[in-house]
Every structure is written in structure tokens, then in C-alpha cells.
Chains A and B, each alone.
Chain A
Amino acid sequence: MYVAVKGGERAIESAHAWLAEERRGDTSVAELSIAQIREQLSLAVNRVMAEGSLYDPDLAALAIKQARGDLIEAIFLIRAYRTTLPRFGASNPVDTGAMACDRRISATFKDLPGGQVLGPTFDYTHRLLDFTLAANGEVPEAPTRSAAPADVPHVTEFLNQEGLIEEAPLDDTTPPDLTREPLEMPAERALRLQALTRADEGFTLGMAYSTQRGYGRNHAFVGELRIGAVPVEMEIPELGFAVEIGEVTLTECETVNQFKGSKTEPPQFTRGYGLVFGQTERKAISMALVDRALRWEELGEDNEGAPAQDAEFVLYHADNIQATGFLEHIKLPHYVDFQSELELVRKLRREAGADQMQEAAE
């Protein structure tokens, strides 16, 4: 005797209880603290802040803990929290020229004002498992030197002095905001950059890599990559002037790209731009390459039909919260639709079978 499936509510509650237990793991092992995640898994925290579009290391660490280390799930938690926050206003644009750089490198000049600062990078480590970390993670203090006091100028400004790189004209119009307005095509560059800075790191990397391998090639040099803290200032209407309300760590990447010139523009270098919350170098470089690829139209380049040149393709598929939601929803029940497909396939097969029998009889 069949009894209709009941008890969805109890099943959900039990599943949640089991999930909580699995998240905690073996209780004889000490529980992770938010501070431990924030301090020792900081690159994961940075990614969650960047793609979650919310700069708060403690909340990002909490999300990572709650998500059992699944970063897309953690990003989702942050996004869902973010949408409920009231908006008090917008800050002034941050000045990355005034950044206190932890890292600042240029691949286009051997030396330059401000110098090359490697900073805390994996770049020249040998990727050998360090078994001493399994026993004891304490490290000797790193050597220090006082920071250069002056602002570090942008590399692209040097090229600009010679007129070798395209102008980046100042634009004071309020940029659109895809978290408040539906994304509509065609999307202007400011909107594309907003979509890219919160885009999935893996997707952005794949798109950027495809341009390097020839699908919308634009030959990028890393003109400059800088990571550091910048002050955030906000105009307070009651005061009538801007006050510093905090600081955020950003990664900024400016690429210098080949450009042979077009009907309207002489040969010169062009720009790709990446700016991402936290130390998120791979993402910032990827973003700059994809930004440049998407600019083909305004620069009068050919549309090669490459995926990275296609703004609709890139922007509609770059958001991992949208993508993972729609992908994973196919595990929800679909038996009503499946039933209608079953009926259709049975009917088509019946008719096809009848036709064949008739042919055999003839």
C-alpha cells in the first residue's frame, strides 16, 4: 500500500541537526575560533569579502566557519546578509595612489619611483610541503624596514606623460549599481567592472586565461600590481566635509596592452583594470585581462567571437551565487515535468513502433 510521502518538515530539521554536527567534526579536536580563521586563513577571508561584496573580515570568517570551508557557500551567506543592510550613503572614491603598499610590482619597468616591493607573496616559494607546520606553526619574526613615507605613483602615469597610453578621462557621473538595478545590456564599463570585481574567481581566471591562449588575445603586461590599505572617506552632510571612516585593503592591477591602432586611434598602449577587496592577486589580474577583452567595441577592434569578448556571456555567467543556485536547483523535485516528458516519450515511441510494424507488414 502506497502512502503519499510525508514528513518533509521533520526530515529538514533532522538534516540541519546532522549538518551542524558534521560542521563541528570530532569534538575531541579544539573548535576553530573566528579570530583563527580571520588571521590564519586570511586569503580565504579575502575571497569571501571580495565576491560577497562586503568588507568585514570577522563576518567573512564567521561565514567560512558556518559554511564548513565551502567558500561559495560562505560568499552566499555574506551576500544574503549584505542585502538586508541599510544604506547610509556612498564614500568618496578611494585614492589608490595614496595606498600604504604591502606589495607593489611592475612587470614593465625594472625599477621605478616607489620601487619594486615584493611583499608577502607565494611567488618565489618552492611548493614543497612544509612538514614543520604540521608540528608547530610558530615562525621567527620577519625582518622589518621603515616604509617609504611618500605616495607611490602609478606606473601608467609615466607612460601617459609620453602619450603612449590611452587617456583615462575623469568621469564624475555616479556609476550604476547592479545590486540595486537589474543588469541590462549593453553594460557600460563601470557596470562591467562592478560585475567582475564580485565575479567568481575561477570563472574570471578561466576567461582571462582564454584570452592569453588566443580567444580574444590582447597581450597584457602587468604594468602594475599593488596591494595595501587605503583610507575610506565619506562626506557627512551635517559636517560639510569628508572624514575618514576606516580603511580597506585592496588589490589593484593595471595592465598595459598592445594596440595597433584603429581608424580613429593612433597606435598606443591600452588599459585593462582590476580592483578587488583584500589581497586577491589572481582575481585582480584576471579581472584586468577580462576588462580589456570586453573593451573591443569602444577601441574599434574586431569581434573575434571569443567568449571573453562577449559581455552578455561573461556578465550573465560570472556570478557564482546565481550559477551555483541554478545549477544545484536541478536536484529539487521535478517529477511533474518529468511525468509529462514520460507521457510524451511513451506516446512518440508507441507511434514509432506502430509505424515500424506497419512497414514490416507491407
Chain B
Amino acid sequence: MTESAYNFAYLDEQTKRMIRRAILKGLAIPGYQVPFASREMPMPYGWGTGGVQVSAAVLTPEDRFKVIDQGADDTTNAVSIRTFFERTAQVATTTKTAQASVIQTRHRIPEEKLSEGQILVYQVPIPEPLRFLEPRESETRKMHALEEYGLMHVKLYEDISRHGHIATSYAYPVKVEGRYVMDPSPIPKFDNPKLGDMAAIQLFGAGREQRIYALPPYTDVVSLDFEDHPFEASKADHPCALCGAEHSYLDEVITDDAGGRMFVCSDTDFCEARQAAGHTGKDAA
């Protein structure tokens, strides 16, 4: 790729303006899915083209950019997206959550509390929380407009009557400011409590489905539940084997072919920072 042949952050200014308009509308109506004319990006749909377009529209040359996939900075697609913006926008990058001004993420919210002035950009595969209850876009838009969310509650209720629990463990639906039901992207429900009252701006981009939505700072976000079956953020019931953290989301790693396994933080920056500060888990080197 000849970098100089492309505009700053790849997209042309007209396209960025169009995306910024959609972002502003999204921020004005928290949780509402704003249609936008998603462009074909030089990476495939499903690889985070929505998040990449949102990042391209908000990045400035002064920004410091971080990309995580599954909580880790060094997963292949996170590496690929970070490299893309290093080349097309020449922005500084970092793996440190606190030092990043824009963080693009797939499937996780960083463990470390974000602060004002930061932007968290989510990659979203299916923005419509009602999609698997009603496949038609024309219908689901109507349901949102009429605030007709009974179907979602029936689905959650059926889960409880069948399994004793709500059988949704990721992409767990939330209600925003008491109005729109929103898909938080496929983050584990462990991360749901971080969505609400967050100091940072949260932007959600779905490229293939051509939707952008947003949560301004300190938005009220509630995970759907019932009084007698309250929402519960769950994780593997272990401490991190490397840094000993008790309250971080863990990945299960298979270590041998005899059933051996260990649990480690999915947020690699969080885990490394803790280890550097002297915290150790049972399998730490």
C-alpha cells in the first residue's frame, strides 16, 4: 500500500463527515441505531469494519490508539487493525489502557476504569438486539419506535422457565436511559455493569449492517432482568493464575492433553501491569 495515496485515516473527508454526523446523532439519542452509508473497507466485513470506520472518523493526529480483540493487544486481528492505522494515520499506538485516547475493542471492555476524554469504539456484528427474535429489519425498527420490547422479556422468561437462568452469557441486552433496548456487542455479560455511568464516550460501529449507535458519558444502562431473577455478572470462579486477580474476566487455557487447564486474565494489559506491580498468581514464572 502506498500510504501517501490515501487520506488521513484512509477514509476521505466527506465520508468521515457523514460518519461523524451519524455518531453525533447516536450520541444525541443514546442506544438508537443510526443507519449510515458504510463503506467497503480494505478488510472484510466481520473483521471490524464498523469499528474501523468509527475510529477513522474520530481519530486526530494527536491521538494515541489502542486496539484489543478478546481483551488482548496481540491477537492477530488487533495487530492488523493497529497496523492499519499506524500506516494510514501515523497515529501513536499503545497497549496501555490509561494512556490511550481512543480504544477500539472487540468482545471486551478493559478492566481498568476508563476516564473522561477517552473514547471506546466497539466492533459490532449484529447491532439489532431483537434480530434473533424477529429477522425482519422493517419489523424490528417498528418495535423500537413503539418501544415494544415484550418479545425480549418473553424470551428471557422462557429461558428461566426452561433452564432456571437467563441463558444468555454474552451480547446480553441492555436498556439505555429507560428507552432503547441495545445490543452491547458480544462482550461477556461480566462486562455489562461497566457500560453504565462510564466516564468515557462509547461508540458502536456495525459496518456490514450499516449502523452506528452510542452511549454518551455517564449514561444510565441497565441489563434486562426480573425482580426475582436479578442480572448477575458471571466469570470463571478462579483467580488469575498469572497475576492473582480475583475480579477480572478470565480465559480458560488448555495446558496439556490430560485435562490440565489454567485461568488467566483476558485483558493482557491489566494482567501485565499487575504482574509488573508484583502481584503473582499460582502459575506465575
Contacts and interface: CB of A to CB of B under 8 A. Distances in A.
A143 interface: no
Given A82-B40, A344-B165, 13 more contacts: A9-B79, A9-B83, A76-B44, A179-B37, A186-B138, A324-B44, A333-B77, A335-B70, A337-B107, A339-B249, A344-B169, A348-B164, A348-B167
B236 A343 contact: yes
Interface string B17-61: 000000000000000000111111110111101000000000000
A185 B137 contact: yes
B283 A86 contact: no
A8 B210 contact: no
Interface stretch (B110-118, B147-155, B186-194): B186-194
A7 B188 CA distance: 25
Contacts of B125: 326, 329
26 contacts: A2-B264, A3-B285, A4-B242, A6-B74, A8-B75, A8-B76, A9-B83, A11-B76, A76-B44, A181-B37, A185-B137, A328-B46, A329-B44, A332-B47, A333-B75, A334-B70, A336-B186, A336-B187, A336-B251, A337-B107, A337-B186, A339-B188, A339-B250, A340-B190, A341-B169, A341-B170
Contacts of A158: none
A84 interface: yes
A340 B188 CA distance: 6
A19 interface: no
Contacts of B6: 84
Interface of B: 6, 10, 12, 35-42, 44-47, 49, 69-72, 74-80, 83, 107-108, 125, 136-138, 163-165, 167, 169-171, 186-190, 208, 210-211, 234-236, 241-242, 249-253, 255, 262, 264, 266, 268, 271, 283, 285
B74 A339 contact: no
A335 B45 CA distance: 20
Nearest to B172: A340
A134 interface: no
A340 B235 CA distance: 7
Contacts of B165: 344, 347-348
A79 B253 CA distance: 39
Interface of A: 1-9, 11-12, 76, 79-80, 82-84, 86, 179-186, 312, 316, 321-322, 324-330, 332-337, 339-344, 347-348, 351
A343 B35 CA distance: 35
Contacts of A339: 188, 236, 249-252, 266
B135 to A, nearest CB: 8
Contacts of B37: 179-182
A12 B169 CA distance: 31
B264 A340 contact: no
Give the 4 A-B CB pairs with smallest separation, nearest first: A329-B46, A325-B45, A325-B44, A340-B169
Contacts of B71: 336
A343 B72 CA distance: 20
Contacts of A6: 74
A179 B18 CA distance: 13
Nearest to B252: A339
Most buried by A among B74, B80, B262: B74
Nearest to A82: B40
A4 B74 CA distance: 10
B170 A12 contact: no
B44 A7 contact: no
A344 B167 contact: yes
B72 to A, nearest CB: 8
Contacts of B83: 9
A5 to B, nearest CB: 7
Contacts of B271: 4
Nearest to A337: B170
Nearest to B49: A325
Contacts of A326: 45-46, 125, 208
B36 A79 contact: no
Given A83-B39, A340-B190, A344-B167, A333 B210 contact: no
A254 B74 CA distance: 54
Most buried by B among A1, A80, A325: A325
B40 A80 contact: yes
A330 B137 CA distance: 23
B108 A336 contact: yes
Nearest to B6: A84
Contact of B78 (A7, A8, A84, A336): A8
A336 B76 contact: no
B187 to A, nearest CB: 8
Contact of A182 (B36, B283, B285): B36
Contacts of A7: 74
A182 B210 contact: yes
Given A180-B37, A316-B137, A2 B255 contact: yes
Given A6-B74, A11-B76, A326-B208, A321 B45 contact: yes
